[in-house]
Amino acid sequence: MEVFYADRRLQLVCQSDREMRAAYGAEGARKLGQRLQALRVANTLDDLFCMPGRCHPLRGNYSGCHAMDLHRGWRLVFRLMTPKEKADQGLAEEEAALVIEIVDYHG
């Protein structure tokens, strides 16, 4: 699926190994890279539930979003894009994910 980012800063971090290492350390950057690759190769949300990373739905303030485990308490939080958002990006039927944030919401 296509992967988009909630803001430019998040996009810059996620698209640079150097920025990922600076922000999340070597192990966090490695896991983040793996999870982003999993998002890219998945055709549907169901595919992510079968991959490493423990993709799981969120509740409360993150209702409608999903998370994937990174390193320690850090999570990659994303949601599927709506049909209107996909149309605005010129996407037809394929699924697309919007990365919301990378956060340690337990700590």
Write the pLDDT tens digit of every residue in 21-59: 999 999 999 999 999 999 999 999 999 999 999 999 999
Which pTM was predicted? 0.93
Highest mean pLDDT, choosing among 11-20, 78-87, 88-97:
11-20
More confident residue, 88 or 63: 63
pLDDT computed for residue 89 by the predictor: 83
Fold of 2-103: YaeB-like fold (3.30.2310)
- As a three-state string, the secondary structure of the chain is CEEEECCHHHHHHHCCHHHHHHHHHHHHHHHHHHHHHHHHHCCCHHHHHCCCCCCEECCHHHCCCEEEECCCCCEEEEEECCHHHHHHCCCCCCCEEEEEEEECCCC
pLDDT computed for residue 52 by the predictor: 92
- φ, ψ of residue 20 in degrees (nearest 5): -65, -45
